[in-house]
Each structure stands twice: as structure tokens, then as C-alpha cells.
Amino acid sequence: MAIEGLHHLRSGKVRDLYEVDDEHLLLVASDRVSTFDVVHPTPIPDKGRVLTGVSAFWFERLGDLVPNHLVSTSVADLPAAAQAHASELAGRTMLCRKVEIIPFECVVRGYLVGSGWKEYQRNGTVCGLDLPDGLVEADRLPDPIFTPATKAEEGAHDENVSFEVMAEALGGGLAGRLRELSLQLYRAGADHARERGIVLADTKFEFGLLDGEVVLADEVLTPDSSRYWPADAWEPGRTPPSFDKQFVRDYATSTGWDREPPAPELPADVVAQTRAKYIEAYERLTGLSFDDWLAHI
């Protein structure tokens, strides 16, 4: 969306980024949904509000482990130009401090799934890290592993790299700090999710530097940046359904789409099922009613 009076910096697959002033940015989470790095023309209602609410929950909960860039999620704290769009922006905005973004995705994997499972089948490794023999799909790893990736340009795929490549680019001290923080954050998130009947299979964090201090940035532990499974559906040997856009992925694949733009339109039942999954993730993780939250934003 256009917000007259704010400088639009860029739009990603989901978020629109605006400059508020010399020290602050505004992140607006849309209802856009993508699969295979291509945005579908059909939105998922309230998806952006779920992502914002989940991130706000985790930023507050994890604040004792690492500071973050979030200032406010209230439209009332935004400049007048944004407040003119209050009804559209409510529940979608994060007013954030500007930070120097570190150009690596800090990925933590606790379970053997996705591209990691495919690599393990070939080589017995995940992102080059040796794992024990005899693991099966969706197995819980003996310990969570840190597998960084370069941040790709819009429309491209992140590229897995070794910790050594990250350390060479950033310096061993900063790279080690990011690895330590990522593993701590994953364990804290996984412990809470487990109490709520959810498995946190893997996730990715983004960090920045503010006055030389490492801060947590972007989104955190959302259904878009993380793979969440219902705990009662998890068992080693098969991958359970996710609390995310799995219905969209399944539908897009079923159409025979070649994964090149444009992505297919989504039918109403796929939209409704996906919205319900996002809202269920919000409610189970936060312990709050999504409808009650909407009524107070």
C-alpha cells in the first residue's frame, strides 16, 4: 500500500518497508502469500496480523536473551501520515529502530526435514554437518544445529553456507555470538511451543547491529519463518502437516504449476483453511484469542 508522507523503501514477498525518520522504520505485514518464492495473486485474510502479533509476542518473551528492534505495534505511535490509514494498518505494523542488518540468515534445525532430510539421505549430513547414522524423516536431532545461509536478493533462494564462511565474512567473534544466540532462542522457543502442544522443527532468525550491539530484527518465530507441527501428529518417519501455508503449497503443486511466475489463483477453501491454520498458530502459541486481539488493536 502507499502511505503518503512516508518514504517507501521496498516491498518484499510479504512486508512493505517505509522510512519514518532518521532512526526509525515502519514494517507493514500484508496478507500476501508466496510459495517457491513466487507471490500468489490471492491473499490470505488476516495473515499479516497473525505474523505481526506472533512476532510481537516473541520479541517481548525473548527480550531477556537479546534486545530487539521493535518499538511499538500501535498505530497511535505512528506519524500522522500513517494514522490516516489506521483501519487498514491496525495490527499489521511494527515501528522499529533502524539497525545495520547482518547479511546472513541464522537458521536453526531441531528436526530432520525438508532440504536437510534430502541431503542426509544422500550424504549423511545437513549443510555439511555430519549426523548420526540411522535417522529417519522428521526425526528429532540429538542437538539443534546452526546452519547459516546467505540472504538472497528478492525472488532468489537463500544459499546455505558453512559456519566458517560466515565467520570469515563477519569475524569469528560476531559469528560465534550469532550462533550462540540463535541456538538459545531456538531452545527457548521450542520449550514454550512444546508446552503449547506444538513442535518447533526449525526456524530462521535475522539480526542487526545497533550502536555495535547485536539485536534481533525482522520477524521472529512466525509461521512464515518457522516450521511448526502439532505435537500430537508428530512421529519419526513422516513429516506432519505444518501450521503455515502448507495448504497453499499442496494446492499449487497439484495444479502442475512450474514454480515460475505467475503463481496460480487460490480457491476459497484453500484460503479459508490456510487462514484458520495461521490463526490457530497464533492462539496456541500466545494463549490469546485472535478475535479478542483484533477487537483491541
For domain 7-98+275-296, give the CATH number.
3.30.200.20
**Cβ of 23: how many Cβ atoms within 10 Å?**
10
Mean pLDDT of the residues in the chain: 94
151: pLDDT confidence band, cut at 50, 70 and 90?
A: confident
Lowest mean pLDDT among 34-38, 149-153, 200-204, 223-227: 149-153
Give residues with Cβ within 8 angstroms of 177, minimum separation 6: 214
Residues 245-269 pLDDT 10s: 989 999 999 999 999 999 999 999 9
d(CA 252, CA 235): 26
The pLDDT, as a whole number, for residue 230 is: 96
Residues 104-127 pLDDT 10s: 999 999 999 999 999 999 999 999
Residue 212 burial (10 A CB sphere; 0-12, 13-18, 19+): exposed
The pLDDT, as a whole number, for residue 73 is: 95
The pLDDT, as a whole number, for residue 154 is: 55
* Grid coordinates of 169: 565474512
Q: Where in the chain is the domain with CATH 3.30.200.20?
A: 7-98+275-296
Question: Residue 233: is its pLDDT beyond 90?
Answer: yes
Q: Where in the chain is the domain with CATH 3.30.470.20?
A: 101-244
For the domain made up of 101-244, the CATH class stated in words is alpha beta
Helices (H), 27-124: 47-61, 80-83, 86-89, 114-123
What values do phi and psi take at 277, rounded to 5? -65, -45
| Mean pLDDT calculated for residue range 193-216 | 97
CB 56 within 8 A of CB 70: yes
